[in-house]
Structure 1
Amino acid sequence: MGRGPRGAGRPPRRLLPLLLLLGLARGAAAAPGADDVCATCHEHATCKQRDGKKMCICKYGFVGNGRTQCNDKNECQFGATVVCGNHTSCHNTLGGFYCICLEGYRATNNNKTFIPNDGTFCTDVDECEVSGLCRQGGRCVNTHGSFECYCLDGYLPKSGPEPFHPTRDATSCTEIDCGAPPEVPDGYIIGNYTSRLGSQVRYTCKEGFLSDSEDTVSSCTALGTWESPKLNCQEISCGRPPEVQHAVLVGNPSSSLGSVAHYVCQEGFESPGGKITSVCTEKGTWRESTLMCTEIITEINDVSVFNNTCVRWQVNPGRINSRIVYVIHIKGQRLDPVASVHEETVNLTTASRTPEVCLDLYQGTNYTMSISTAPPTHSVPAVIGFQTAVKQTIGNISIFNETCLRWRSMKTADTEEMYLFHVQGQRWYQKEFVQEMTFNITTSSRAPEMCLDLRAGTNYSVGIQALSSGLPAVISLTTQITEPPLPEVDFFAVNGGPLPHLRLRKATEENGPISSYQVLVLPLALQSTFACDSEGPTSFFSNTSGADGYVTAELLARDVPDDTQISIGDRLYYGRYYNAPLKIGNDYCIILRVTSEWNQVRRSTCAVWAQVKDSSLMLQQMVGAGLGSVAVVIVLAFLSFSAM
């Protein structure tokens, strides 16, 4: 039998790999799920069909091929501002992220966290809507993401910076108190004042001083200090007095305030309106006189005889203050049986508008008198006739024991004489006061005496006329002041309670002019030893003073209306004294002192106004303390003072 070809019945060697691959492909196709791509997707991927094919795609928030890897995507890597918006912080999570607003901001959806896919963003929080953040006296100002504190008007920052934040700074706002206003050399404060913000004290120069500045006010500023007063008081000096035409300056007058320069007209001139003077004024200049010297023309008229041997006449107004030489010629014929003639010429030089002269004439004589002027003046002689009488006179009047008079009678025999008295009293400080008395006494003494019932502090004119005489004698006297009447007060006794308002009634000026009222505060234990005329009690500025007693208020009498109300401890200035509060728990005596001053004499009387035991903080002091903490005429100050 023959053999077939070599290798017959087996496939060729080169087809074996191909057949092997086809077999594997068929086996794979025949295995269950072999064509399901979605089964191979990563756990953070989803299977989607695109263009007829199934694909594995990583979920939102992951990146990778979808089958073997899907890694978390960090959305915050581009920055919180880009991802979440302004004022945020970004926080990455597995497959996502969320946003949080920074401190001081809040999300517009009112949630703590958000994702800005719905338009949510962070807006500023107004912390100032919460009251009291900046504490007492502070003012809150909102800022982006936070807030700042400033002190209100009337307050100053203390112990820290401004602006401040209450959680990090120790700053506190304290009320402004400017304290005592500054002093001005040779000046003083007018009226009352406090030391609160905006308070003002007004200054003026002392008498005899002048300021070149019209700015007389100092204010309590927001810095807690008083403005520096611009008042510059300089002693007034008017320099040399001005010249007056046809007049000569008399003496060498001072150039200080109130000095008066006197002038006299030159020979042949007169000042019809009166004396020519110029006064140094408070403006530092001489006040020019409105009068001038004019050429003399003399008119003599209204010639009259008085006191039997004296003659008085008047000259025209143009002769005032001009010295004139008068020539008086007299010729008399005696009335007694032994006839005799008295003839005489007398010269009189005077500048008076109503000249008068007493002549040595005979009693019981008929006289003819002519009066004319000597050159350089000219006049028409005035002629008068009169008769002298036999009369008694009063001489050598003297004052003793202040209100008593003694005089000498010119009688030739020890016979009784009636004397008529006319007493008139006036007071410059009390225009409505008039005291007038008319009475008579009869005595045969050659040296009579009389004591008058006169009032204190009064100027008197006393006329004494003998009944047998036509000529009264006039003398002036002044009585000294005595202690003023006891002050009229409503006494209060207070034990631990508030002190009522004290009523100040004006004292009557019976014994002299009332110059001032003072309110004094003394420890109660010193009441029995206090002397009314004592100058011991001093001023009191703060309630920390250790003074045993002090003046708490002084009011000039001319500034006091009747029924004035005074509150002890109201922290105001009365005159130059500070009305300080009473110390709590102490016993005090409140005294009202009335002072009279006249002719360099000072007299005082005192009345106990109130006794305060176990003193408490009075209502008006509480109000004063409350207001004082805001702004401690014033002034007083003034005031301030300049001026609480």
Structure 2
Amino acid sequence: MDKRSITVIVVLLLCVIAGMPAAAQTLDVCATCHANATCDDKSDGSGKVCNCKYGFVGNGRTFCQDKDECQIGAIKICGQHTTCHNTHGSYYCTCLAGYSPSNNMANFIPNDGTHCQDTDECTTTEICGKGGQCKNLDGSFECSCHPGYRVHNGVEPFHPYKDKASCKVVDCGQPTSVEDAVLLSITGTTYGGVAMFVCDEGFVWRGGENSSVCGADGVWRGLTMVCEAKCGPVPLLANSEVVWHNRSVVIHRCVNGYHSWRGSSASMCGSSGVWQKATLTCIERKPPINHLFVLNEKCVHWKAEKYEEDTEVYTVTYIGYRDYQRSFHDRRKQSLSSKADQLEVCLNLLPVTNYSISITALSAKFTATLTTNTSLPVPPAPVVYYREFETPVPTLRLRRSANTLDPISLYQVFVLPVEGIMVFDCSSPGSPDPSSKSKSSSKYIAAQIHVTQVGTEMNFTVGDGLSYGGFYNAPLENGRDYYIILRAVSQWKAALKSSCVLWAKVRGTSYVLKISLLSAAASVGLVALVTLGRYSLTWFFKKT
């Protein structure tokens, strides 16, 4: 029944009582009190009244219900670190885990001053287990391990019930010795254990501590004794290490990166107590072929690493290819044998070619490889048949041989009108004038012909009015003197080289001609043949 229903009943009862005749008021009030109420005298002495007992609430007559004291909170009614428990007409308090009541009663009511105080769990023997040490906390405790013990299944600090962790004794295991020492005795392998050592037979104790102690971290420490052979410290050799020794013999070997050159690898302890030192010599290990390079695009040089008295057989293989000539393939091989440590092999490498050069030392079974690119040389000028003509349409002849540069080479025919002192630069581009067909007084290119289109011989007519390679072969003017120059040009990517040759003269009035030919070669054939290459030559022609 809720409070609202109880209130309605109380009001109805009061109304009934108020309407009753005076005779009813003589009833025994105490007889009407509720079972959980007491009948008490009114404070003014006017009669009796029904009051609910302690732990109940109501009007004392028709109802008295249980009062839940715990609803106001355990701390307020029971105090700190408590739990409140309501009962019919009363309540009681208990302490939380880690705390105990001051009156040592499990259940209490704090009206007598009883309260919950911290329980010191550390008073319980070995609550943390063997090797553990306890630390009390407010309402709890925690454990850690004593020196010589380490936590198992957890980390410090730990709670043995919550974390399931424990302390286990530290065991250092068998002690490790130092060089040339042996174990004499040991008290144990756990924390604090002591191991004693002595020098092995044939060795003497020169200093340091001869005992080792097992530490709290599980590591043996303290052993520093030095044992030396009767002949003294083991002899050391440059660039070597000791691979085995006893009291009288030491075996040496070269360290990584070095190899033995000559000499004995054993040091012996003599009867006089002096080491007879090994004579082993260790030298730096290098490839059998190193310092490989190509000089002047002709000769390959390398350094040989071997025993001086040995003869090595080498095979030199070189393969060439060209980016501009896919069908080109130059593969050749040479062999030689030598005792020298500095070697050179000169190769006939072709120009404008990418080469891969491999050198194999047969006995060492070692191959070294390098790559090199040859450069673009000055192209060879063809053999021309120089003549002087009096016709404005002269036909000129040349003869040539096939060359590996033919795919990137061409011939240009220059026409130079003779006008006083003239200068011709073999590297100049010239005045093409292929489309205007105008007759310029300066030099111009009359034709451009790819070398691959030329056979072993070629005839060319100057001034025939045709176009060759996009250049107009303009007719020559009557009554004027001309020099005809043939230029050979080779070009690959940004590199360009050329050479020039004087091919013919068309007669007219004689003047002085000065021709400066850069990067050209000169040759003379028949009447007069001048080849102009990387250098300049000057011809002076006087009037006859």
| TM > 0.5 | no
- TM-score tier, shorter chain, comes to 0.3 to 0.5
- TM norm structure 1: 0.31
- TM norm structure 2: 0.36
| Structure (1 or 2) with the larger CA radius of gyration | 2
User: Which structure carries more relative contact order (alpha carbon 8 Å, separation 6+)?
Assistant: 1
